[in-house]
Structure 1
């Protein structure tokens, strides 16, 4: 399993966001991309997910890549419950394992049967739902954009445990954030500054 970006560039509103980016991810690696707000972290993820196209360069995903992603502010059916949202998302790929989903929801301190609309969820609660949808279908490549934003101490500790378990299952996980996430043991580190991605 492999992801490869070669000479990727992207401009928005005449501002060069990504400048000749080269990046590769292999199976079972925990990778960290550090960059400030607006540095282009989310843009890289959107290009990998083929949500947007680069202005130049090539994107290669091997045939066995099954992507799960939390990018920027996750979108949900705002007037529906967590159960309705996750079951709806699960039916798209027809890989919905409700037992696994209930376990993840419980581990992150949420109630699967809560009828509360997602529009009423706090930032941290929404972030938890975003994490769950990115990993609930046994995805083997997981992109997490600022995943710890809004998480309390208990949820952060559980998140770190879940990441460790996924790596043991040889999942590839790429986390983009503005801080160093010191509690996770990354295999590879990259910094994104002024459009350039550098191994560090």
Structure 2
């Protein structure tokens, strides 16, 4: 992944009357990164995205795209951005292909070959000449993505891009976005409520609450616990209660418990071999041992205190 910074937010703030909707957000997105933007309902995600694409003004702060200030040089900055904010805006009385032709006329250098290419990428070949009013919500979402990437933007901003997509469509979109970031170096910013999907898609995630940035972290760091911390370990054994009795002196945090998965307890990394040895010496049969990783959902709920709007 390139370290060339494509998108920069500097103290981006939005106030309406006495209420602060977005509060001094600052982060960077480099070329070739899929960047997740998460937060509870009402946290300020869509407001931030609207400011990034110039749909609403900032109270203070600055958004730079390839070094171009969105507020001062809007048209120049927009040449580098493709976006879907909430729902794709399409002409329903036109066909999908006519919609793409209409958009292509607004941007120089878009060829018929490029239009055909994006139609294939979003898998709309069989329906592209049908009127958009006959499309399902998922098909409109695909057409919106095709429209957003038509001019090969350096930045692609997607607000809830998986709305209306079936599981296969979600997976295809995820794979395409990863490919787009990897092969074309596009910086992709995605806001979504599907945390399990974001965990598979994103390289890095920012979480905001009440308009404030509470965490920006690489995905692999966010979902993995540090090696020197106690982590939840699950032992699948033949005699759970006996195993708990043997492991009582080994427990680091809380108490050992029997769950559907097995005997669970918190151990530090260096304690795991000793725990296994105790069970073996106590003639408890061990079928598996695994350390449970924290999911993005776990981390999100931890950082936002359950996602409440406070």
Q: How does the TM-score come out when normalised to structure 2? A: 0.59
Gap change, CA 1:56 and 1:111, over 3 Å in 2: same
- Work out whether 1:178 is the aligned partner of 2:193: yes
Task: Identify the structure with the greater helix proportion.
Answer: 2
Higher mean Cα deviation, 108-117 or 96-105?
A: 108-117
Name the residue aligned to 1:118: 132
Q: Any unmatched runs of 5+ in structure 1?
A: none
Aligned ranges 1:67-82 → 2 under 5 Å = 67-82=81-96
- What is the RMSD computed on CA atoms of the aligned residues? 2.2
Distance (Å, rounded) in 2 between the aligned partners of 1:18 and 1:183: 24
Name the residue aligned to 1:58: 62
Higher mean Cα deviation, 76-85 or 10-19?
A: 10-19
The counterpart of 1:192, out of the listed 208, 215, 233, is 208
The counterpart of 2:122, out of the listed 92, 108, 122, is 108
The counterpart of 1:32, out of the listed 36, 39, 56, is 36
Distance (Å, rounded) in 1 between the aligned partners of 2:6 and 2:122: 29
State the structure with bigger RCO (CA 8 A, min sep 6), 1 or 2.
1
Distance (Å, rounded) in 2 between the aligned partners of 1:110 and 1:37: 32
Checking the alignment, whether the CA contact within 8 Å between 1:25 and 1:172 is kept in structure 2 is yes
Aligned length in residues: 200
- Work out whether 1:156 is the aligned partner of 2:170: yes
Q: Any unmatched runs of 5+ in structure 2?
A: 69-75, 218-310
Checking the alignment, whether the CA contact within 8 Å between 1:7 and 1:57 is kept in structure 2 is yes
Q: How does the TM-score come out when normalised to structure 1? A: 0.88
